[in-house]
Amino acid sequence: MSDRIASVERNTLETQIKVSINLDGTGKFNCFTGVPFLDHMLEQVARHGLIDLDIHAVGDLHIDAHHTVEDLGITLGQAFDQAVGDKKGIKRYGHAYVPLDESLSRVVIDFSGRPGLEMHVPFTRGSVGGFDVDLFSEFFHGFINHSKTTLHLDNLRGKNTHHQAETIFKAFGRALRMALEVDERMAGQMPSTKGCL
């Protein structure tokens, strides 16, 4: 299997974003978005997914973080779509349960070629670390639409908003890692009876 790496740039009147990823990395993380809590969440994806992430984003934060967060989800999704290639030989499906103290989240992902998001996260506060938690939905919508994945995010229990968010992103990283692993028994084969994804 060839190197599963990608670099994507997205430049609009609202944001300028550069993303480089290595799906077979060691969890190296270099990121600046101007949104510290988002950086903290993305580091969880890199570390727990063993995905190298290099992200630089400049956005119209003088308005709010909406455009930066949404466009980063889009750009990251594009990078994943490019890096995963034709999907032959991957496990395709991934899932993870992650606890953090009182909080427990489950994430399930399918590199199906069909965008779909089910997000059930009853955040107990509207913001955490100065971050509007409504924007997590914008991030994940951008990601699934451009990575062409089906994603189910469920916070099964939790009282601390930081813990709720962190368990979602850690589980997201773990689920990505599982789905993108190369399955030796599927070598060269498409993980679908359709013959394509």
Check residue 1 and give its pLDDT: 57
Give me the DSSP letters along 84-136: HTT-TTB--EEEEEEEETTEEEEEEEE--SS-EEEEE---SSSEETTEETHHH
Considering the entire predicted model, what is its pTM? 0.96
Residue 68 to residue 66: CA distance in whole angstroms: 6
pLDDT in tens, 57-99: 999 999 999 999 999 999 999 999 999 999 999 999 999 999 9
